[in-house]
Amino acid sequence: MSMLFSSGRRIGFGSMQLTGPGHRAAPDDPGRAMQVLRDAVDAGVTHIDTADAYGPFTAEKYIRKALLPYPDGLVIATKGGLTRQGPNQWAPCGRPESLRQCVEIGLGQLRVERIELYYLHRVDPAVALEDQLAVLRDMQAEGKIGNCGLSKVTSEQLRTAGELVEVAAVQNRYNVTSRASEDVLRHCEMTGVSFVPYAPPASGRLGKPHCVLHELATQYGATPAQLALAWLLHHSPAVAPIPGTSSSAPVRENLAAEQIKLTPEAMTAIELAATGRKLGGRA
């Protein structure tokens, strides 16, 4: 089981989809976005992931308005260090004074005295990694951050960071069709770090009715997205996926993936299908 998220529920909820087009500003129906959050918690979600860059400051606001006072046991993770210039535009900013401001704004947006898990959203290549992490370490010592995380990092950056701060979680893109971060995942396993893959159903591509996993999913009486999530859970005990959605129905469907049992043969079949291959040769 994932090391940081030990409540028994490994699938969380990613709030990025609760924003407008290009993950900019508010969606057409903010009330619906907040209802999705309430429904997710009612369904048993105990880990909600967000960031100040979602909107910016939109998803964090919805979480506060929808869920405050927060239920016991709910881990709300947020991030800082990634600025917004427009729809689908992102640029890292790791200057220490800016990161400190990000944390302070996050505390106010979520209306908490301590953020349980705070990620450096991107490593800024223009600023020494030690200087960026020093801010999070200092604010952790001040009691404003519970655990420190990193997002979209290489295994080399993770090893370096581990010498500077205690890393509790890593959030990288990872799913059965995109496994470039396999070395990062294995490092997390060896060091007791939670690995939080974003876009676990490949940004929705594995949720489509006739995607590459459609045939296998039908055999399991599941959806392709559920099968993709089940594969992740079986692939590593360090994994805690955060599928996101802008509607409530898929939340319970995603959580149901925890009940799917996969044999080693099924895992191999899913991996081959996801890469367009079949047992005994190529498709």
**Domains of the chain in sequence order:** 13-202+237-259 (3.20.20.100)
pLDDT of residue 37: 98
* Half-sphere CA count of 194, side-chain side, radius 13 A: 24
Rg of the chain over Cα atoms, rounded to whole angstroms, equals 18
Q: Which residue has the tokens 């974003």?
A: 198
Please give the positions annotated as active site: 54
pLDDT of residue 7: 62
DSSP code of residue 239: B
Rounded to whole angstroms, how far apart are CA atoms 169 and 42? Answer: 25
Query: Could you tell me the mean pLDDT of each successive run of 10 residues in the chain, 283 residues long?
Result: 66 97 95 98 97 98 98 96 96 98 98 98 98 98 98 98 97 95 97 95 72 90 94 97 96 96 96 72 35
Q: Which two tokens stand for residue 146?
A: 């519970």
Record the pTM.
0.94
User: In 3D, which of 214, 215, 154 has the Cα closest to residue 184?
Assistant: 154
Query: 31-70: string of b/e by CB count within 10 Å (b at 16+)?
Result: eebbebbebbbebebbbbbbbbbbbbbbbbbbbbebbeeb
Q: Is the dihedral of CA 2, 200, 222, 216 positive or negative?
A: negative
How, if at all, do strands 89-92 and 82-86 pair? antiparallel
Backbone angles phi, psi at 173, to 5 degrees: -70, 130
* Half-sphere CA count of 22, side-chain side, radius 13 A: 9
Opening angle at CA 28, ends 249 and 43, nearest 5: 25
- 209: preceding bond cis by omega (within 30 degrees): no
pLDDT of residue 3: 55
Q: Which residue has the tokens 């469907």?
A: 253
What's CA 269's distance to the chain center, in Å?
26
Rounded to whole angstroms, how far apart are CA atoms 56 and 14? Answer: 15
Find out whether 227 and 216 touch, Cβ atoms under 8 Å: yes
pLDDT of residue 261: 96
Find out whether 115 and 85 touch, Cβ atoms under 8 Å: no
Q: Which residues pair with 91 in a beta bridge?
A: 83
Q: What stretches of 123-282 show up as alpha helix (H) in DSSP? A: 129-141, 155-162, 182-191, 214-219, 224-235, 249-255, 264-274
> How many Cβ atoms sit within 10 Å of the Cβ of residue 274?
23
Opening angle at CA 17, ends 66 and 258, nearest 5: 85
pLDDT of residue 203: 65
